[in-house]
Amino acid sequence: MNACAEIDYGTPEVKVGAGGLCMPGTPLRGQATAILEIDGMSVTVPAGTSLMRAAAEAGVMIPKLCATDCLEAFGSCRLCLVEIEGRRGYPASCTTPAEAGMKVRTQSPKLAELRRNVMELYISDHPLDCLTCSANGNCELQTMAGVVGLREVRYGMTGENHFTESTTDDSNPYFSFDPGKCIVCNRCVRACEEQQGTFALTISGRGFASRVAAGQDERFMDSECVSCGACVNACPTATLTEKTVIEKGQAEHGVTTTCAYCGVGCGFRAEMQGTEVVRMVPWKDGRANEGHACVKGRFAWGYATHPDRITRPMIRARISDPWREVSWDEALQHTASEFRRIQARHGRNSVGAIVSSRCTNEEDYLVQKLVRAAFGNNNVDTCARVCHSPTGYGLKQTLGESAGTQTFKSVEKADVIVIIGANPSDGHPVFASRLKRRVREGAQLIVIDPREIDLVSSPHIKAAHHLKLKPGTNVAVLSALAHVIVTEQLVDPAFVAERCEARAFAEWSEFVARPANSPEALQAASGVPAAEVRAAARLYAAAGNGAIYYGLGVTEHSQGSTAVIAIANLAMATGNLGREGVGVNPLRGQNNVQGSCDMGSFPHELPGYRHVSDTPTRELFERDWGVPIQAEPGLRIPNMLDAALDGSFLGLYCQGEDPVQSDPDTHHVVAAMSAMECVVVQDLFLNETAKYAHVFLPGASFLEKDGTFTNAERRISRVRRVMSPLAGMADWEVTMALANALGYPMHYAHPSQIMDEIARLTPTFAGVSYEKLDAAGSLQWPCNDAAPDGTQTMHVDEFAGLRGGKGRFIITQYVPTDEKVTRRFPLLLTTGRVLSQYNVGAQTRRTANTDFYGADLLEIHPHDAEERGIRNGDRVGIESRAGTTTLPATVTERVQPGVVYTTFHFPESGANVITTDNSDWATNCPEYKVTAVQVSRLAGA
């Protein structure tokens, strides 16, 4: 067996009292547990547990091939037969539920004979190349042949078979499909259906001709396959195998860690040969993903050792000079000297730092500590500024805490799911798979998005309502939904009376009930038919459990914070808070957006979202850190850039962030960067911002350091080092060394000590430690004396962060954005991302994910394309008030007339050259989602 393999119990776990569909593994009502006898041992399991799982939990592993515990039982391989006293025949243990009083035998001469016969048939149609097979040592077929004692194949190997003339499909860059080794166990097909929900695989043909096929019998790359790897994980043979395993061989040890891509925060087992990663396998016990993955986390980790990695510090006097490699000591001393020189000349507040949402909590904490304690100001901000800062503001104001309210698992209890301004199947694919499973079980779906995202209509998924609003009108639609809920008496009066501020509710309900907020009145602005809004509002309000999930399509607007507040208002009004299956759920873009915000990376907040003007909090940190802390907020990222242009901000330490590519209005960002005297970039690669840097400090990937990430569920998970930092230092060590060079002592031997300090100073993290995380697997904050095991669902009894514990409705007036279409700029550009690429693409562009998406495209509606003479594939010019760029066009009805859409994964596309500096009123989060543009076909295109 594979040295890294986790125990496979054969069928899914059944929890006592669990609900769900009626299928194998579901407990029978009225029977909490069943006590039975297996091979003479008394076994107690939740009722409905399969005999296979019951045996496995007692340590008896029944032979199996088609069963695996991440999939529902299938009962096809006939290897897991058992004998049950008093019953005829030999039932399959995977599909037979354990019942009280059963006496089961898993071994007998007859069972052994039956199993050997079955195996003999399998092996008669399987190549006998075990010694040179890529699955050697990790092949369930091989293992089972051994377990059942197969010694001969009486049928010989020369008859009709599938292996002599089969052709391997190597089209996918990450895995190989060799049908000659397939035993047609259906595990891959079921994984694609049950786990991923894509339905890309099927069994084509009948009888002996049955075989696995992708799509319409196509190559994997030509099919609907999304390369999540679930099929590869499920395959018990070498039929579907990672190419890295084929190339390197099986791993010899594994380390559990957390993915460094999106805010889902999937747990992975890094399977290793020494310090080399062989493959990343989704961790079954990872609570965020429960054994599932996507193409990024599962396969796109090769960037960590890409030749583009910079592993030596570099400095230069001017940005026009060539880089000069220097020692760590020289780079850090130079940086410290430059920052001190700038501060001496331009004042203490003339320098600052940007914290990365890709780095660990411990690293983020250290950077903000460095700014506050060593720089002596509050000029620290995080790249969450440009994505979810409105979430922090809006949820804090209404619900009292700057975080989502649920677990991802909570969606399994939702009856109506509202997706606003998010595209989970591309941006948060592992959560999307959970969501789709719930929709297949019968939950209703409402999508509010200008574009027809996959969830509107995909295999076995059909949204009940798609409110196809115009970009920039979220608040209008949310107000209209609220209007219907209030005026049609759909409010949950008991929840509102008990849990919310009465006066605030009265003022809000009077406001939304005004005719100006009716769906009919707002239809012209939003473009959404009033009847559709009314129907959606009724569906959400009448749901037993209504859950709202939202993303950057809500936050990245001039009214981003208003929209977040409006969402919270809806949830409070309908009583959809404080239990499983409901809630307000921000889908965070990057792996540690939540964590970076939690760690005090905003210029106005210390760790735990406590304002810098709060004297007791400030004094707590001042005592611990031994320095005074400014009581006034510092500069946000856009303010830093503006201040750079007026000559009052001249030094920037930028860790793990690329504002030149990711921030709006590139010309403005470049001008600001060019105006600074010392820009320090700490990153894996020479990114776009590094072009304007004077110091480059090599970063470390998530594989090279210890720490924690906090995902969108507030779940704190361990990141574990599996290889040494390529540049010799992890990011937290670099920040620590810089602080020391600046004369502020920092001495931590391990990130666990940083977490201990965080816990000591932050009430919501008071119960968090590495020991506890290692024992529990992960913890959701708040984790403290009041909630020693963490908090799965927020606001169960009260809104603890608010006065009197009462939820606070806030009026949300729709204010149209200044970014309006004109005759010169008649189209609205909105942006998003695709499944295979990640944000500015620094990581995914350096992997084979470029095979799936190798360039940003501009989606344009056929009507708009025809008016401009644009055909599919034409290169088009896009002009906005901020700038111009060019992109290849894709003509598609996914976008509505008047709206164009692109991604921002490739720097050469210059998507942010055309976005403007409009921003959210409360947080300055840029309005990426609305830019008025003109699109024209380029001559010669």
Partner 1 sequence: MNLDKLIKMANQIGDFFEAMPDRQQAVIDVAGHLQRTWEPRMREQLCAAMDGSAAARLKPLVRDALISLNKPAAPVGKSTSGG
Q: Which residues bind partner 1 (CB under 8 A)?
A: 349, 378-379, 393, 397, 507, 511, 558, 561-562, 603-604, 611, 613, 632-636, 639, 642-643, 645-646, 648, 810-813, 815, 818, 917, 919, 921-924
**CB nearer to partner 1: pick between 26 and 561:** 561
At its nearest, how many Å lie between partner 1 and the CB of residue 646? 5
At its nearest, how many Å lie between partner 1 and the CB of residue 633? 6
At its nearest, how many Å lie between partner 1 and the CB of residue 399? 14
**CB nearer to partner 1: pick between 470 and 636:** 636
* Contact criterion met (CB below 8 Å) for 395 and 403: yes
| Cα dihedral 859→853→709→719 (10° resolution) | 180
CA distance 885 to 882: 10
CA distance 731 to 91: 56
Buried b (16+ CB within 10 A) or exposed e, 869-887: ebeeebebbbbbbbbebbb
At its nearest, how many Å lie between partner 1 and the CB of residue 908? 29
**CB nearer to partner 1: pick between 15 and 514:** 514
**Exposed, middle or buried, 469 (CB in 10 Å: 0-12/13-18/19+)?**
buried
**Residue 379 structure tokens:** 């000029």
At its nearest, how many Å lie between partner 1 and the CB of residue 570? 17
**Residue 387 structure tokens:** 């994505």
At its nearest, how many Å lie between partner 1 and the CB of residue 269? 41
**CB nearer to partner 1: pick between 334 and 388:** 388
**Residue 675 structure tokens:** 């105006």
At its nearest, how many Å lie between partner 1 and the CB of residue 786? 25
At its nearest, how many Å lie between partner 1 and the CB of residue 921? 4
CA distance 547 to 542: 12
**CB nearer to partner 1: pick between 174 and 508:** 508
Q: Which of 864, 883, 886, 902 is nearest to 940 (CA)?
A: 886
At its nearest, how many Å lie between partner 1 and the CB of residue 574? 22
Q: Which of 828, 837, 836 is nearest to 661 (CA)?
A: 837
**CB nearer to partner 1: pick between 557 and 845:** 557
DSSP state of 410: G
CA distance 231 to 193: 10
**CB nearer to partner 1: pick between 671 and 848:** 671
* Contact criterion met (CB below 8 Å) for 551 and 584: no
Alpha helices in 125-210 (DSSP H): 140-147, 187-190
At its nearest, how many Å lie between partner 1 and the CB of residue 553? 20
**CB nearer to partner 1: pick between 460 and 514:** 514
CA distance 463 to 444: 7
**CB nearer to partner 1: pick between 172 and 389:** 389
At its nearest, how many Å lie between partner 1 and the CB of residue 143? 59
Distance from CA of residue 305 to its chain's centroid?
22
**CB nearer to partner 1: pick between 668 and 845:** 668
CA distance 119 to 124: 8
Output Rg (C-alpha) for the chain, integer angstroms.
29
**CB nearer to partner 1: pick between 77 and 566:** 566
**Residue 475 structure tokens:** 């608040």
Strands 546-550 and 899-903: unpaired
**CB nearer to partner 1: pick between 14 and 643:** 643
* Contact criterion met (CB below 8 Å) for 711 and 717: yes
**CB nearer to partner 1: pick between 562 and 752:** 562
How far, in Å, are 195, 421, 581 from residue 424 at the CA level? 15, 10, 17
Q: How many CB atoms lie within 10 A of CB 774?
A: 12
* Contact criterion met (CB below 8 Å) for 38 and 54: yes
Distance from CA of residue 150 to its chain's centroid?
45
